[in-house]
């Protein structure tokens, strides 16, 4: 078997580290936006339903950005998509305090921030990794990249809460600081994409099963694949679950009479637990069938929410709930990306996985928006929790019929 020189290995894992750092910032930001719901509501008097609409648009448009940015990257390269998306993200964050009404938030957060962060997120980053690394390393590498996003949630949640609580900044100033931080993505994107072979012909790609079809033919054919449809449906329910929690967990904490720090630390604990979950699941993807990994992760969520509903609402309960959620939070991404790669190859992974992420974020739109509707109508999130249990169980079952080829333990056989 062909050996990989140590210098090349260091270079490749350096690219993985750059991708992980980019995702750390974009996901850390996205997963912390719920901390602004109460400050904006109290500061400018916007209704929770209106703010939830803007947050829901953020979920939806981040999803729309995934296949669009993926298609652009597949055609023109990832570098121009990454730097232009980063600039749009920073401008959107700066615009939020200047547009403090429902439609202003929809424009700034729901479109500019969402599209900008979506352009520097999973579909492009994981496609870059998949096209640069040997097949036997991809599951672990995607787990590392995904762990970067989770580490961002751990770091950003208390950081954002601290910025909001600073009298000299408040929630408005926090957005300006975050805009400056996001600009650090640009040099990392340059490191990630230099000498990228992604725009090369499929025959030059790292994966033998990449097809000779054009982009549009591949996309059209994917919708005739029943396993791909099931993957979309399962990821839709995953998006509903995550968006509901990341948007409304701070308000749930407030309804229980607990301080805001409980919410920020709960989000942080979700993030740090998912670093472990992402690394473990990434390792498992190289060794076990991804559809079974997804079944057990989604099923565990339904059980965990049921346990939460039966528990007393204390800070300890929220912290334990957060750790349990975090173990599978974004760990669903590596096996989902792996399944797309197994079904269609990695030549157009940025586009095809981007479409799956769009389904995830359509679910996210409903999770974020309907949470605000339920709170306004009933005064609590009771019905949303029950819906979340049902959808998590459905997502688990939907993955079982997926036709997945048996995994070869090539990662074990690969030698340095």
Q: Give pLDDT tens digits along the chain (416 positions).
A: 344 444 566 777 778 888 889 988 998 898 788 888 888 888 888 887 888 888 888 878 888 887 888 778 877 888 899 999 999 999 999 999 998 888 999 999 989 999 999 888 877 887 777 767 666 666 677 777 877 877 887 788 888 988 998 888 889 999 999 999 999 999 999 988 876 654 443 334 433 344 445 777 877 878 888 889 999 999 999 889 888 988 888 889 989 889 888 888 888 888 888 888 878 887 888 788 889 999 999 999 999 999 999 999 999 999 999 999 888 887 888 888 888 888 887 677 777 887 888 888 889 889 888 888 888 888 889 899 999 999 999 999 999 998 876 544 443 333 33
Neighbours of 342 (CB within 10 A): 18
Distance of CA 263 to the CA centre of its chain: 19
| SS3 state of residue 212 | coil
* Among candidate residues 6, 1, 59, 69, the one with its CA nearest the CA of residue 34: 59
* Cα distance between residue 55 and residue 244, in whole Å: 10
CA angle 257, 259, 262 (to 5 degrees): 110
Decide: 243 and 364 in contact? Cβ < 8 Å. yes
Quick check: 65 and 188 in contact, CB under 8 A?
Answer: no
Neighbours of 400 (CB within 10 A): 12
- 10 Å CB burial of residue 268 (0-12, 13-18, 19+) is buried
- 81 in Cβ contact with 387 (< 8 Å): no
Question: CA–CA separation, 253 vs 258, rounded Å?
Answer: 6
What Cα–Cα distance (Å) separates residue 254 from each residue in 108, 261, 313?
26, 10, 11
The CA-based angle 224-56-51, given to 5 degrees, is 170
How far is residue 199 CA from its own chain's centroid? 24
**CA angle, 400 then 401 then 403, to 5°:** 110
The pair of three-digit structure tokens given for residue 383, joined into one six-digit string: 């019905």
| Alpha carbon separation from 53 to 118, 339, 374 (Å, rounded) | 18, 32, 13
Q: Is 275:154 a contact under the CB 8 Å cutoff? A: yes
Q: Tell me the domain boundaries of the chain.
A: 9-194+214-402
pLDDT of residue 389: 93
Q: What is the pLDDT of residue 115?
A: 92
Cα distances from 11 to residues 6, 194, 206, 273, 291, in angstroms, run 9, 12, 16, 28, 31
CATH topology of domain 9-194+214-402: Growth Hormone; Chain: A; (1.20.1250)
Number of CB atoms found within 10 A of residue 296's CB: 12
Count CB atoms within 10 A of the CB of residue 355: 24
Residue 5 is classified by DSSP as P
Residue 211 has which token pair? 């097809």
What pLDDT score was predicted for residue 301?
A: 92
């Amino acid at each position: 078997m062909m050996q990989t020189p140590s210098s090349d290995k260091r270079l490749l894992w350096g690219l993985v580290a750059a991708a992980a750092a980019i995702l750390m910032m974009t996901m850390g930001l996205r997963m912390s936006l719920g901390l602004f719901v109460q400050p904006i509501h109290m500061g400018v008097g916007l209704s929770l339903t209106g703010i939830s609409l803007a947050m829901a648009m953020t979920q939806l448009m981040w999803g729309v950005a995934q296949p669009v940015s993926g298609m652009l990257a597949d055609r023109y390269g990832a570098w121009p998509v990454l730097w232009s998306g980063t600039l749009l993200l920073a401008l959107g964050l700066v615009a939020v305090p200047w547009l403090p009404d429902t439609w202003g938030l929809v424009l700034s957060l729901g479109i500019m921030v969402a599209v900008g962060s979506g352009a520097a997120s999973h579909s492009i980053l994981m496609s870059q990794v998949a096209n640069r690394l040997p097949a036997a390393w991809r599951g672990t590498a995607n787990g590392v990249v995904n762990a970067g996003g989770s580490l961002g949630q751990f770091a950003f949640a208390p950081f954002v809460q601290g910025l909001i609580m600073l009298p000299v900044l408040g929630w408005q100033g926090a957005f300006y600081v975050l805009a400056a931080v996001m600009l650090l993505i640009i040099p990392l994107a340059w490191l990630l994409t230099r000498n990228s072979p992604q725009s090369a012909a499929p025959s030059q790609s790292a994966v033998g099963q990449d097809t000779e079809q054009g982009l549009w033919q591949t996309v059209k054919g994917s919708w005739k694949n029943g396993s791909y449809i099931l993957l979309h449906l399962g990821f839709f329910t995953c998006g509903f679950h995550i968006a509901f929690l990341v948007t409304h967990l701070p308000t749930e904490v407030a309804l229980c009479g607990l301080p805001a720090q409980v919410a920020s630390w709960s989000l942080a604990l979700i993030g740090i637990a998912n670093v472990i979950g992402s690394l473990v699941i990434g390792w498992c993807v190289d060794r076990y069938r991804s559809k079974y990994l997804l079944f057990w992760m989604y099923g565990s969520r339904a059980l965990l929410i049921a346990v939460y509903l039966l528990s007393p609402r204390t800070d300890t309960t929220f912290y334990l709930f957060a750790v349990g959620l975090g173990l599978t939070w974004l760990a669903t991404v590596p096996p989902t990306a792996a399944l797309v790669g197994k079904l269609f190859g990695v030549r157009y992974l940025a586009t095809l996985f981007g479409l799956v992420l769009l389904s995830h974020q359509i679910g996210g739109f409903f999770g974020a928006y309907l949470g605000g509707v339920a709170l306004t109508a009933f005064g609590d999130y009771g019905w949303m929790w029950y819906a979340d249990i049902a959808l998590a169980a459905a997502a688990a079952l939907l993955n079982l019929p997926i036709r997945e080829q048996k995994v070869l333990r090539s990662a074990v056989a690969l030698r340095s």
